Structure 1
Amino acid sequence: MATPILTHNLPVTASKLPTLDRPLRLVARNLKISQDLAPHSHPCGQITYTPQGMLQVIADGTVWFVPPMRAIWIPPDTIHEVKLLTESNLRAIHIHAEYSPLSNQHCLVLEVSNLLRELIFSLEYTEPDSPRERHLVQVILDELIAAKPLPIYLPMPNDKRLKNLCEILIANPASNDTLEILAKKVGASARTLTRLFEQELRMSFGDWRQQMRLARAYLLIANGTPMSQVAAELGYSSQSAFSAMFKKTFGVSPSSFFRQAG
């Protein structure tokens, strides 16, 4: 029996890993919300894609959000865990290191074009090791090279007090508590937390909270949540205030951005 490469609840046996002859292998699984994947790694690169559902991937001290019709690049040997935010149709594309479409050594969330979506769907139902599979693989690799990266990630700290503060905000993104109020909840001074944000995360408290809200907003909008509800769930006083924040980051309004993505 083949030895599992992963040690947790989504093993990939050596017989299913990509090779030089078959540099891309697709693993398709439909998972329920309770089927989180414990920390593990792969000797190959991986594109994790969900045509339906929402994922949260934790790797490199960062939380990466993967909404529907988006994908995340996970470099070889990167320890990561996957949390399902909804029931998800998980499509894991394992790619041989010598055929890696991305040179980035850190995770990236990528747009999935309509063409790439159809290619992955076709690959799932294509005869293994056939001429058709080889053609599909080549075009998939080309599409991944052209895929647009998206800033829907959130760096997380190591300091226990700062990590507790960040987790409080993630659990309640609508909270507008000041840093002074939050400091009392985690047993540290506002000055200490300000210094830790800069030292560990290379950003201010306000910038981190905005990044957290932006990442959550992307998930909500991609899932079809009305813009007014998104603004309310993230603590913005109005839909226009939220749209202004989104446009400052992406250069276009939320409706224009998702219309272009679609």
Structure 2
Amino acid sequence: MSRIRQQPEAPTVLRQLAGGERIDLHQHDNHQIVYAGAGVVSITTDRGTWVAPATRAIWVPAGTPHEHRAYGETALHLVGLADNPLGLTTPAVLTVHPLLRELIIAYTDDPADDSAARRRLRAVLLDQLRLSTEQTALRLPAARDGRLAAVCAILAADPADNRPLPALGSAVGASERTLSRLFRSEFAMTFPQWRTQLRLHHAVVLLAEGHPVTAVAHLCGWSTPSAFIDTYKEIFTTTPGRRVR
């Protein structure tokens, strides 16, 4: 693992990142909300990767070594918090309803402002954050078992690979039963559930990079664009072609 840069206080700031730009491995002594008002952001830890479009934010608990990556031109809003209103001790993707979105954007507009009005804004932001729900569909856990990691790597390289689990098992020297057990024990999900998460993860990234919906559906393994749109809408409550403003 790369050397971890210590940054005692998580900043509250707006950063403009180019597509593909990274923020190297670091950690904070306090908590952080990571929100892409435009584009898409991911955070990666030794436990996996979480990705969030503009309808989601990522919660990073204090003391978590992590790195960021932007997909597409990204307006990265970072909010440092001493409080932990959600009680979460691991990273999580959270829903961002329209009011919370505007609160995060407003709160990061002028971080140097220490007015009473801004303190009230922060209190409302925390209240609204407590109403957010965790979204597990945008989490890709890191595999510990080598056989499971090999299957994950095959499909990460080509999410459209439609081989069933027995065929993938043959490719990595593991039985279907063993791999099914590993998906449940390490990821707490079935193989089909994990593959859908992987495909959604790739789809969110490709959309941020400007690929058309039809191409994304094909590249990520959906049988038809309408099947992709239905899955996307079920998770994000919006269509993949719609952009949050």
How many angstroms apart in 1 are the aligned matches of 2:227 and 2:55?
27
Q: Which runs of 5+ in 1 are unaligned?
A: 1-5, 19-24
SS at match of 1:94: strand
- The structure whose RCO (Cα within 8 Å, separation 6+) is larger is 2
Give 1:149's aligned residue.
134
- Give the one of 131, 138, 142 matched to 2:116: 131
Aligned positions of 1:200-219 closer than 5 A:
200-219=186-205
Give 1:43's aligned residue.
29
| Identity of matched residues, % | 36
SS at match of 1:53: strand
Give 1:62's aligned residue.
48
Q: 1:54 to 1:238 in 2, by over 3 A?
A: same
Q: 1:114 to 1:197 in 2, by over 3 A?
A: closer
How many angstroms apart in 1 are the aligned matches of 2:228 and 2:14?
36
Structure with the greater alpha carbon radius of gyration: 1
**Deviating runs (4+, > 4 A) in structure 1?**
218-227, 243-247
Contact kept? 1:220, 1:230, Cα under 8 Å: yes
How many angstroms apart in 2 are the aligned matches of 1:126 and 1:44?
16
How many angstroms apart in 2 are the aligned matches of 1:246 and 1:233?
15
How many angstroms apart in 2 are the aligned matches of 1:105 and 1:169?
29
Which stretch of structure 1 is more off in the superposition, 131-140 or 190-199? Answer: 190-199
Give 2:154's aligned residue.
168
Query: What TM-score does the superposition give when structure 2 sets the normalisation length?
Result: 0.80
How many angstroms apart in 2 are the aligned matches of 1:128 and 1:240?
47
The alpha carbon displacement at 1:131 in A equals: 1.7
- Give the one of 168, 181, 185 matched to 1:182: 168
Q: 2:128 is aligned with what amino acid?
A: E
Give the alignment's Cα RMSD to 1 decimal.
3.2
Aligned positions of 1:234-245 closer than 5 A:
234-243=220-229, 245=231
SS at match of 2:34: strand
Give 1:229's aligned residue.
215
Give 2:93's aligned residue.
109
Aligned positions of 1:25-40 closer than 5 A:
26-40=12-26
